[in-house]
């Protein structure tokens, strides 16, 4: 990989290669660190081009700015997803965004997804907003306003089967039972339909 990309097309080509490799990673957990490093190298090589295309003084076409934003979003989300496969605690996700369990930040993220509910290949923003709202409801159940989501309330999404044609998802999450020293688990499951 080059030290810096010269064009969006070049960056997109390298990103597609990384994604193909990451798909293979799903079956090979011992290589997690290598893929995270490769995503980090991509992000460094993309940084200058991204800044130039998305800067307020840039004369880039709106389409180029959107492509650059999408590539950056893919890199960030894939890095979190790949790194997350080795996490043993939901608290480890806070490294990426310490405020991620803050109610205001969560609701803002859902609002962004709901404002533009388009589908892009397998990425269905409206579906992800509804799944996020479901998880948020479980984690925040019984909390008072302003109270943060503690470790014992956090859940791990462990199953999601999506029917893209019917815009339906069967989702399941799990967490350790509060106060259970034997390591018992609590499971919740739902069917989510998006209109």
Domain boundary among 32, 51, 86: 86
Residue 29 falls inside a structural domain: yes
Instruction: Answer yes or no: do 20 and 78 share one domain.
Output: yes
Instruction: Answer yes or no: do 79 and 100 share one domain.
Output: no
CA-wise closest residue to 130 among 195, 179, 77, 54 = 195
Instruction: Provide CB contacts within 8 A for 73, sequence distance 6+.
Output: none
Tell me what pLDDT residue 188 has.
94
Residue 30 falls inside a structural domain: yes
Give the helix/strand (H/E) hosting 25. helix 8-25
Domain count, the chain: 2
Residue 1 falls inside a structural domain: no
Tell me what pLDDT residue 169 has.
92
Cα(48)–Cα(36) distance, integer angstroms: 20
Instruction: Answer yes or no: do 100 and 62 share one domain.
Output: no
Tell me what pLDDT residue 27 has.
52
Domain boundary among 20, 55, 86: 86
Instruction: Answer yes or no: do 142 and 163 share one domain.
Output: yes
Residue 2 falls inside a structural domain: no
Tell me what pLDDT residue 28 has.
59
Instruction: Answer yes or no: do 111 and 59 share one domain.
Output: no
Tell me what pLDDT residue 61 has.
62
Instruction: Answer yes or no: do 147 and 69 share one domain.
Output: no
CA-wise closest residue to 155 among 137, 131, 139 = 139
Tell me what pLDDT residue 117 has.
72
Instruction: Answer yes or no: do 63 and 20 share one domain.
Output: yes
pLDDT tens figures, 17-75: 888 877 766 555 677 888 888 999 999 999 999 999 888 776 656 888 888 998 998 89
Instruction: Answer yes or no: do 106 and 150 share one domain.
Output: yes
Instruction: Answer yes or no: do 137 and 107 share one domain.
Output: yes
Residue 47 falls inside a structural domain: yes
Domain boundary among 86, 119, 139: 86
Residue 171 · residue 152 · CB < 8 Å: no
Residue 3 falls inside a structural domain: no
Instruction: Answer yes or no: do 82 and 99 share one domain.
Output: no
Long-range contacts of 183-189 (CB under 8 A, 24+ apart): 188/138, 188/155, 189/159
Residue 3 has pLDDT above 80, yes or no: yes
pLDDT tens figures, 88-130: 788 888 888 877 778 888 899 899 889 887 777 667 888 899 9
pLDDT tens figures, 138-178: 999 999 888 888 888 889 888 899 888 898 999 999 988 77
Structural domain harbouring 151: 95-193
Instruction: Answer yes or no: do 21 and 48 share one domain.
Output: yes
Tell me what pLDDT residue 70 has.
87
Instruction: Answer yes or no: do 74 and 114 share one domain.
Output: no
Residue 73 falls inside a structural domain: yes
Residue 31 falls inside a structural domain: yes
């Amino acid at each position: 990989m080059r030290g810096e990309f010269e064009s969006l097309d070049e960056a997109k080509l390298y990103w597609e290669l990384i994604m193909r490799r990451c798909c293979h990673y799903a079956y090979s957990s011992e290589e997690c660190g290598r893929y995270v490093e490769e995503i980090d190298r991509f992000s460094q090589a993309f940084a200058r081009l991204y800044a130039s295309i998305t800067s307020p003084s840039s004369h880039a076409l709106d389409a180029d700015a959107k492509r650059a934003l999408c590539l950056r979003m893919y890199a960030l989300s894939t890095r979190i997803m790949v790194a997350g496969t080795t996490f043993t605690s939901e608290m480890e996700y806070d490294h990426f965004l310490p405020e991620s369990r803050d109610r205001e930040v969560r609701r803002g993220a859902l609002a962004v997804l709901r404002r533009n509910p388009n589908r892009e290949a397998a990425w269905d923003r409206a579906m992800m907003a509804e799944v996020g709202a479901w998880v948020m409801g479980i984690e925040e159940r019984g909390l008072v306003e302003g109270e943060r989501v503690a470790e014992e309330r956090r859940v791990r999404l462990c199953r999601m089967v999506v029917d893209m044609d019917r815009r339906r998802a069967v989702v399941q999450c799990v967490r350790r039972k509060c106060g259970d020293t034997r390591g018992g688990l609590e499971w919740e499951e739902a069917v989510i339909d998006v209109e």
